Amino acid sequence: MKRRNFLKLSTVTSLWLLTGCGGGGTNSSGVDGGLANSTNKLTIPPLLTGTDVNGVKNYDLTIQKATHTFFTGLSTNTYAVNGTYLAPTLKLTNGDEVSINYTNKLDETTTMHGHGMHVPADMDGAAHQPIESGATWSAKYTVNQRACTNWYHPHLMGKTAEHVYKGLAGLIIVEDDEINALDLPKEYGVDDIPLILQDRFFDSNGQIDYSPSRREIMMGYHGDVFITNGVINAFIDVANKEVRFRILNGSNSTVYDLAFDDGRTFKQIGTDNSLLESPVPITHIRLSPAERAEIVVDFSSDLNKTILFKDVAQNKNFLKVKVTKETINTTTTPNTLTTLNRHTLDQAVRTRTFSLSASGPGDFRINGVSMNMSVINERVPLNDVEIWEVTNTMGMNHNFHIHDSHFIIAKRNGSEANVLENEKGYKDTVFLSGNDTVTLIVKMTDFTSSTKPYMYHCHFLEHEDAGMMGQFTVE
């Protein structure tokens, strides 16, 4: 394991502890020999709103090799979209006609999937829409969903995990009239902050190390360096007001339990694919890979304080929030956010069952079979309300992601009471801890094709690449 020879990594880790406890922004560059700054300003991915071409909003994106500075004085090879790590945030508006144009300047084939986007299967950007080296592929569609925070990432068979790990991921913000009318923090990068949370291993040269062992493919490839928007040990300055964070678990296989170090209560306002009907007060939030949460945190009484946002499961920091600015421009998050059309179990016309299993580290399965690009595993009629019952037959964590559809979690382990208040919005990814069963209400709408499939899969990327995936058509 070459990464365990990365002597300076222990210094980086100790810096986390130093800054995590100190909270004052001490310059520790003398301690680590300049390897990593104790405080690095959080990078905000650039916001692309599209260029109008004959009524179509065009987003031009180049997938490329790059170098990125994770550690002071070290240049790390990455994959990125336009920049040096990760990708711009795409802002889409419900009803807009868009063309998202991806040009692949890598030396290898990849894809770019709009995770959470409700689009025709051939615009999904998943395994059946490869973008060869040198080619351009466009996702063209009319935005047809409610406000939410989605994301885009590669989805090439067997290579998804590695391509995401090297840096290919970005957010897609979908807006609509309803959310724009709410008194929410909405100034991107100022009081509306995107947070892409990841963990990575680096080798002795400071290079990204994607070399999971068979055991790590099974149990999770949990990097020891935490990264927020591509920044290690990040801080942000905010004003003494409500601040909204759009949080993506962008890791390959780590489940985060996120909280603030003072244990404060904050409000979750959105799940993967919608607002919650009312803000849900919580003190921590569990996010498995690919899940998103929008939260609003009230810093109005915190002027000159520093609060840490962290994963309490591993006691590591993702962000140091410094409340340094005074403002009178406040917002008051309303108590009613939206009304959701929640289908009920008794509306369902059939039940499909999905069982997650493995026969070994390289052979993960759903319903006893591994992903096969030429097999359509399920054919789903348009507009039928269905129950999808997903069972994790293993003692370890998984999750389950369905393309195209936005589902409601009706039950966990047979009981509605086990569904958390903050997962009662529309979801596209649901967490299953060992031996869990979740009951989902699913309805496929708008787009049909008997030949072009969508995918469902575990979003622990090593599991997905090892076969825990299947295909369905909507007909």
Is 330 buried (19+), middle (13-18) or exposed (0-12) by CB count in 10 A? middle
The CB-of-144 to Cu ion minimum distance in angstroms stands at: 29
List, in sequence order, every beta strand (DSSP E) within 262-392.
266-270, 275-282, 284-287, 292-298, 306-311, 316-325, 350-360, 363-366, 378-380, 385-392
- Residue (188 or 221) nearer to Cu ion, CB: 221
Q: How many residues of this chain bind Cu ion (CB under 5 A)?
A: 4
When asked if residue 463 is in the footprint of Cu ion (CB under 5 A), the reply is: yes
Mask of contacts with Cu ion, 372-411, x by CB under 5 A? Answer: --------------------------x-------------
DSSP letter assigned to residue 254: P
Instruction: Go through the chain and tell me how many residues it has.
Output: 475
Options 3-11, 107-115, 262-270, 456-464: segment touching Cu ion (CB under 5 A): 456-464
The CB-of-468 to Cu ion minimum distance in angstroms stands at: 5
Here the tokens at position 83 are: 């920049």
∠ CA 47-50-52, rounded to 5°: 155
The CB-of-427 to Cu ion minimum distance in angstroms stands at: 17
- Residue (398 or 411) nearer to Cu ion, CB: 398
- Residue (244 or 401) nearer to Cu ion, CB: 401
Residues with Cβ within 8 Å of residue 321, at least 6 apart in sequence? 235, 236, 238, 243, 260, 297, 299, 306, 307, 308, 309
Q: How far apart are CA 180 and CA 159, in angstroms?
A: 38
Choose which of 431, 456, 460, 472 interacts with Cu ion (CB under 5 A).
Answer: 460
- Residue (447 or 460) nearer to Cu ion, CB: 460
Options 122-130, 140-148, 367-375, 454-462: segment touching Cu ion (CB under 5 A): 454-462
List phi, psi (to 5°) of 150.
Answer: -110, -170
- Residue (23 or 361) nearer to Cu ion, CB: 361
Instruction: List binders of Cu ion among 51-90 (CB under 5 A).
Output: none
- Residue (139 or 466) nearer to Cu ion, CB: 466
When asked if residue 221 is in the footprint of Cu ion (CB under 5 A), the reply is: no
When asked if residue 458 is in the footprint of Cu ion (CB under 5 A), the reply is: yes
Q: Could you tell me whether strands 350-360 and 385-392 are parallel, antiparallel, or unpaired per DSSP bridges?
A: parallel
Footprint of Cu ion (CB under 5 A): 398, 458, 460, 463
